[in-house]
């Protein structure tokens, strides 16, 4: 491909992207294919000779879009939305064209200095105090692993990376039962072991019980274990469970634990001051993560990882081989020392475009709309005689259950049938979870292009398909 062809096909890709976004609402949200359908349309081996771009692009259009679940769809109500706001997509195109490797200041000075500024823009936007620094990790899972590694090194007086864990007293990390599975995986990868992740029981709202945390720490110390850290949850994935940040931080400080707050989804809502009560006490945390690539609109991958003492993160992760040193300059920030990855993408550019193109006020309006529309839908479903709201809205997330009067069959199976029927219908996309051991259905609003009419359609689809299952109320 020469420069002329690159220009032609870049324009073609941009036009296709714009057409895709304009017609997205006409597509089914979830891919309507079976396992193996796409693989059967792809050649078994790579071609020996170059193929022309007309053929390649035609195959893309024929095979790929129909096999995708459309995360930018305005009626994507499953998981948490992974948005890609158009202005940020343009930035991502530019970053890809530049193709920089942003591991050191000297390899990409503008990328490094823009990242410092964008982290601080976000810090101010969500109300964190001066003094917090940070970086963009790929995902919240990576930020959490960085936090667990820092807990480990801090508890071992910074000797674990060199001498390992052999012969050490077990290091204990505490979290609620509602925390994300990435916490468990971080315990595996860090070498601490899943058995040393202590799940503290939760109250009726799904929040960690503070008194039981204190008891567990004291009990572990008596057993010869070494308490190392605490993971606090704000906006849990399943039903939005949120811990009492201030109370838990007080206990952790008393026992000298490193505190990490996982606000991967809900943290974006903190650009709205009226929601900050959900993480009251956040200034006491040592490490915080939230994902601009969820609710704020940045394309994947872009997790904002804030740390109160950057030197602890750097001491945990930095290596200084000769080939990575920069001589003749002092006080440089090399973000590869803040992360597990050495190679790093230019993530800050899409945040810069995003925040400027939509403004904090525009982003707040979207989040406030999503919260209002979700709460209204929960109220409407709750007023239906054959639906029950199983967990009330936390921001824009709630769960519900279809329980028609007089039905004496398996309600879990009925709700599984309902969600399968809804997703096969294609007009909306929902996911399920377990709450109090029962199968329930999650709804979360967060698509960047969602409108109130999309929530109205969700109501119609849920009610109509539920009653089409032949389970009318008695």
Q: Which of 43-57, 388-402, 460-474 has the lowest mean pLDDT?
A: 460-474
Confidence class for position 179, pLDDT limits 50, 70, 90: confident
Round to whole Å and give the CA distance between 425 and 439. 20
pLDDT at 37: 95
pLDDT at 412: 96
pLDDT at 105: 84
Confidence class for position 124, pLDDT limits 50, 70, 90: very high
Check whether 359 has a pLDDT greater than 50: yes
Confidence class for position 474, pLDDT limits 50, 70, 90: very low
Choose between 450 and 335: higher pLDDT: 450
pLDDT at 385: 92
Q: Which of 248-252, 323-327, 334-338, 344-348 has the lowest mean pLDDT?
A: 323-327
Check whether 473 has a pLDDT greater than 70: no
Question: Contact at 8 Å (CB) between 288 and 264?
Answer: no
Angle of helix 3-23 relative to helix 53-63, nearest 10 degrees, comes to 20
Question: Contact at 8 Å (CB) between 54 and 435?
Answer: no
Computed from CA positions of residues 388, 263, 81, 63, in that sequence, does the dihedral angle turn out positive or negative?
Answer: negative
pLDDT at 330: 66
pLDDT at 472: 44
- Residue 48 is classified by DSSP as S
Q: Which two tokens stand for residue 392?
A: 């009330």
Question: Contact at 8 Å (CB) between 21 and 86?
Answer: yes
Q: Which tens digits make up the pLDDT trace of 246-259? A: 999 999 999 999 99
Choose between 1 and 380: higher pLDDT: 380
Confidence class for position 406, pLDDT limits 50, 70, 90: confident
Q: Which CATH class is domain 355-468?
A: alpha beta
Average pLDDT of span 196-207: 94
pLDDT at 263: 96
Round to whole Å and give the CA distance between 131 and 67. 46
Round to whole Å and give the CA distance between 296 and 350. 11
Q: Which tens digits make up the pLDDT trace of 272-306? A: 999 999 999 999 999 999 999 999 999 999 999 99
Q: How far is CA 21 from CA 71, 358, 368, 441, in A?
A: 11, 18, 23, 28
Q: Which tens digits make up the pLDDT trace of 54-103? A: 999 999 999 999 999 999 999 999 999 999 999 999 999 999 999 999 88
Round to whole Å and give the CA distance between 400 and 407. 17
pLDDT at 469: 87
Round to whole Å and give the CA distance between 385 and 233. 33
Domain residue ranges of the chain, discontinuous segments joined by +: 100-345, 355-468
User: What percentage of the chain reaches a pLDDT higher than 90?
Assistant: 88
Q: What is the mean pLDDT of the chain?
A: 94
pLDDT at 471: 46
- Residue 76 is classified by DSSP as B
User: What percentage of the chain reaches a pLDDT higher than 70?
Assistant: 97
Round to whole Å and give the CA distance between 305 and 53. 40
Continuous H helices in 156-293: 160-163, 181-189, 210-222, 245-254
Average pLDDT of span 7-25: 95
Phi, psi of 208 (to 5 degrees): -60, 135
Question: Contact at 8 Å (CB) between 121 and 358?
Answer: no
Computed from CA positions of residues 222, 165, 324, 93, in that sequence, does the dihedral angle turn out positive or negative?
Answer: negative
Check whether 203 has a pLDDT greater than 70: yes
Round to whole Å and give the CA distance between 460 and 311. 53
| Fold for the domain defined by 100-345 | 3.40.640
- Residue 206 is classified by DSSP as S
**Pick from 267, 242, 270, 324: nearest CA to 143:** 267
- Residue 74 is classified by DSSP as T
Q: Which tens digits make up the pLDDT trace of 436-459? A: 999 999 999 999 999 999 999 999
pLDDT at 323: 65
Confidence class for position 332, pLDDT limits 50, 70, 90: confident
Helices vs. strands in the chain: H and E counts, helices first: 13, 11
Distance in Å from the first CA to the final CA of the chain: 67
């Amino acid at each position: 491909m020469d420069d002329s062809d690159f220009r032609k096909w870049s324009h073609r890709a941009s036009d296709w992207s714009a057409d895709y976004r304009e017609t997205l609402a006409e597509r089914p949200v979830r891919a309507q294919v079976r396992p193996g359908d796409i693989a059967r349309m792809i050649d078994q081996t790579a071609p020996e000779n170059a193929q022309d771009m007309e053929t390649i692009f035609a195959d893309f259009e024929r095979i790929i879009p129909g096999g995708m679940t459309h995360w930018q769809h305005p009626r994507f109500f499953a998981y948490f939305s992974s948005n890609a706001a158009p202005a940020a997509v343009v930035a991502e195109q530019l970053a890809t064209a530049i193709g920089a490797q942003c591991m050191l200041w000297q390899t990409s000075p503008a990328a490094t200095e823009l990242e410092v500024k964008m982290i601080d823009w976000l810090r101010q936007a969500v109300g964190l105090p001066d003094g917090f620094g940070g970086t963009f990790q790929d995902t919240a899972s990576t930020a959490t692993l960085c936090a667990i590694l820092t807990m480990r090194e801090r508890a071992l007086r910074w000797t674990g990376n060199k001498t390992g864990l052999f012969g050490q007293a077990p290091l204990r990390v505490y979290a609620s039962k509602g925390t994300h599975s990435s916490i468990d995986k971080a315990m595996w990868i860090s070498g601490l072991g899943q058995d040393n992740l202590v799940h503290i029981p939760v109250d009726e709202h799904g929040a960690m019980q503070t008194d039981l945390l204190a008891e567990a720490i004291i009990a572990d110390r008596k057993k010869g274990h070494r308490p190392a850290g605490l993971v606090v949850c704000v906006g849990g994935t399943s039903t939005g469970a949120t811990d009492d940040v201030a109370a838990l931080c007080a206990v952790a400080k008393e026992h000298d634990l490193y505190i990490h707050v996982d606000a991967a989804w809900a943290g974006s809502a903190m650009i709205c001051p009226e929601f900050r009560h959900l993480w009251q006490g956040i200034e006491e945390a040592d490490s915080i993560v939230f994902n601009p690539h969820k609710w704020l609109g940045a394309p994947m991958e872009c997790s904002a990882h804030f740390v109160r003492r950057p030197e602890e993160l750097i001491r945990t992760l930095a290596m200084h081989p000769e080939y990575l040193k920069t001589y003749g300059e002092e006080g440089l920030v090399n973000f590869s020392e803040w992360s597990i990855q050495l190679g790093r993408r230019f993530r800050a550019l899409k945040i810069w475009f995003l925040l400027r193109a939509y403004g904090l006020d525009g982003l707040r309006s979207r989040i406030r709309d999503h919260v209002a529309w979700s709460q209204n839908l929960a109220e409407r479903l709750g007023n239906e005689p054959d639906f029950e709201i199983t967990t009330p809205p936390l921001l824009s997330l709630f769960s519900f259950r279809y329980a028609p009067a007089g039905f004496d069959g398996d309600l879990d199976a009925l709700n599984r049938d309902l969600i399968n029927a809804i997703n096969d219908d294609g007009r909306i996309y929902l996911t399920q979870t377990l709450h109090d051991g029962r199968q329930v259905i999650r709804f979360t609003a967060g698509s960047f292009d969602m409108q109130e009419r999309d929530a109205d359609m969700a109501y119609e689809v849920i009610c109509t398909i539920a009653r089409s299952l032949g389970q009318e109320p008695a």
